Structure 1
Amino acid sequence: MVRWGVLSTARIGREKVIPALQKAKNLEVAAIASRDEENAQKVAAELGIGKAYGSYEALLADPDIDVIYNPLPNHMHVPMTVEAVKAGKHVLCEKPIALDAKEARLLRDMPSDRFVMEAFMVRAHPQWQRALEIVESGELGKLQSIQAFFSYNNQDPDNIRNKPAFGGGALMDVGCYPIVAGRYFYNAEPERVVSLIDRDKNFGTDRLTSAMMDFGEGRQAQFTVSTQSAPYQRINLVGTAKRLEILIPFNAPAGAETILRLDSGTALGDGGLEVERIPACDQYTLQGELFSRVVRGEEKLPYGVDDAIQMMDIIDAMFRSERSGSWETIGSPD
């Protein structure tokens, strides 16, 4: 049994990830830490976690913990991941893994026998895996365009997602999901990107961001993300023969089936529409089980630090494009 410890009592951990991990077959959520020991004890009691610590350092020092889940605010991802690895732990870190690519590259200096993985739970969901099977089967023809949208409405000035210094804004918070979709379904990396960004005049964060990624060979991916729009999400994978639609691609409900729609009709949508239903599952549970198998040596790490650095290089290029108004290539001198 792989023993997990959770850094902080953050909402995503309390409400989504920890309950999902507690359903996993090969791990135990054994400890949780907060800078407020009373709060840590309260959450531990509510969730049935055996140990509660009043500091992150105390949790990292626990010799019984194998894996650290890091859902701290974005600006604390790299510092606390570094500390966890130095303490001999493996780390599943929430996305985005860093504030920029330069910071992300600090993770390359970590011991090679400790695993660090960015928590893109969507990669563990069967609907993404099935969609990739369809793409790779050639049923869509040549995949030419990936179109994605992901939005929600949060205008709370005290919310950390609306604070630039802590890595807030639409591109960092949810834009990374369409980016990973492009990389996942093309099984390739973009060569250049261009973006159009509208910023909140009070917060300074990007509240509406659209971007295009050029994967070469005529392959494109376009997306729009927003923190101040009606909640909505969708992915369309458009090939030369058919179109595949993922209806709830990012925060798929844990207790409900998900749906893929395969369309071979005309642009007016009057052709045949095939619906494939994916049984209910919890992508956070599947992600936890996957990482635990990696830690136990039962499976290879599907992606690691280099993948996370590449993600930040792409995001950095999109922010450079905002300033330049032009296409930007991926990667730049530190």
Structure 2
Amino acid sequence: MSTADIGRLQVIPAIQGSTWGRVKVLASRDIEKARSVAHQLGIERTVGSYEALLEDPEVDAVYIPLPNTLHAEWTIRAAAAGKAVLCEKPLATSASDAARQIEACANHGVSLMEAFMYRFHPQTRRVQELIASGVIGQVREVRAHLSVNIMRALDPSNIRYDSRLGGGARLDMGCYSVSVARMAFGSEPRRVLGRMQSDPKLGIDISTAGLLEFPQGIALISCSFATDGGDIYTVVGTDGYIEVPRGIIPGYGTRAAEGLVIVVDPDGNRREERIEPANQYRLMADAFAESVLNRRPVPLPPEDGLNNMKVLDALARSLANNTSEPV
């Protein structure tokens, strides 16, 4: 659905290069743009509406990279049409909408998965293995940061600047930082305290930070449209820590990207683990398609996306009220 850059540059080529997925139809409300992109990418057919895509009997599943405020509506409509859904992050703009998406897909017997591609890179699996092994002891703190300076050259057409479409750093990038913290702790936070810098002209948060209180410890998450602070997370335990310098985006483009995981013990001894190159979008596409084709649960259940949205909702309340908020 749509000719969004994330689909055109990353997800569609990944599906085309996957084992289990095929891109049959590209839908856009701008049919000429759809035809141009389809020609570039070698897609067989185009349609000039999302409704036409959902009516196509040859389509088993749809990928939804629409503006955030449209995720819930088109997930629910796709479910009603009997299509499985791979929905771009964040799953929705509120936990209540995410719950409606999950209910609709369950009622119609179709799969729903949030497109958190980083969860499928071998480097993420290695981090999970290291945490489970106890090599750093008990996890007590997580620090997760993601930023890309898109404010340097304002593009009026960029939906990330539009609050009416679910723009802002919290939803666009903060969803990753929250996801990393929840994954590392293996539990859900109880309270959230947030702070932000906003752009009054755009009406969005451009830099946001949050302190998340988990049963076992705390997480400091941050995200920004205004800095090039990078992509890094650190999992701190009672007996050392794990650092992942490119935790969400090991590499750009469609090529396979190598991962790097650094383990540091209490004495400061540092061990670097190079992780085999992988295209995390392709791995995500195959995992989703294989689950749909074999009628098995998706590897990243939609309830994970719902729980992520509950934290992002609490963060929004904290930013609005200048208070610590329960999740």
TM tier, shorter chain? over 0.9
Aligned to 1:190, the other structure's residue is in SS state coil
The normalised TM-score by structure 2 is: 0.94
Separation in structure 2 between the aligned mates of residue 188 and residue 249 of structure 1, nearest angstrom? 19
Cα deviation, 1:63-116, whole Å, max 9, x if unaligned, reads 011110001111111111111111110000001121212222221431421011
Aligned to 1:28, the other structure's residue is in SS state coil
* Aligned match of 1:3: none
Matched, 1:226 2:220: no
Matched, 1:21 2:15: yes
Contact persistence 1:265–1:273 (CA under 8 A): no
Structure 2 letter corresponding to 1:18: I
Bigger shift: 35-44 or 291-300?
291-300
Bigger shift: 239-248 or 301-310?
301-310
Instruction: Write the mapping of 1:1-334 to structure 2, written as runs, cut at 5 A.
Output: 7-112=1-106, 113-155=109-151, 156=154, 158=156, 159-217=158-216, 219-253=217-251, 254-266=255-267, 271-297=268-294, 299-330=296-327
- The alpha carbon displacement at 1:148 in A equals 1.1
Structure 1 letter corresponding to 2:314: A
- The alpha carbon displacement at 1:247 in A equals 1.1
Separation in structure 2 between the aligned mates of residue 301 and residue 16 of structure 1, nearest angstrom? 20
Separation in structure 1 between the aligned mates of residue 175 and residue 91 of structure 2, nearest angstrom? 10
Contact persistence 1:195–1:318 (CA under 8 A): yes
Structure 2 letter corresponding to 1:245: E
Separation in structure 2 between the aligned mates of residue 150 and residue 111 of structure 1, nearest angstrom? 31
- The alpha carbon displacement at 1:13 in A equals 0.6
Cα deviation, 1:151-192, whole Å, max 9, x if unaligned, reads 111122512101111111111000000111111111111111
Aligned to 1:261, the other structure's residue is in SS state strand
Bigger shift: 103-112 or 146-155?
103-112
Root mean square deviation of aligned Cα:
1.4
Cα deviation, 1:246-302, whole Å, max 9, x if unaligned, reads 111111214331111111155xxxx32111011111110000000011102264323
Q: 1:231 to 1:23 in 2, by over 3 A?
A: farther
Which runs of 5 or more residues in structure 2 are unaligned?
none
Indicate the percent of aligned positions where both proteins have the same amino acid. 36
Count how many residue pairs are aligned between Structure 1 and Structure 2. 319
Separation in structure 1 between the aligned mates of residue 222 and residue 113 of structure 2, nearest angstrom? 26
Bigger shift: 206-215 or 295-304?
295-304
- The alpha carbon displacement at 1:26 in A equals 1.2
Aligned to 1:153, the other structure's residue is in SS state coil
Which runs of 5 or more residues in structure 1 are unaligned?
1-6
The normalised TM-score by structure 1 is: 0.92
Separation in structure 1 between the aligned mates of residue 117 and residue 257 of structure 2, nearest angstrom? 16
- The alpha carbon displacement at 1:326 in A equals 2.0
Structure 1 letter corresponding to 2:305: A
Aligned to 2:277, the other structure's residue is in SS state coil
Bigger shift: 122-131 or 300-309?
300-309
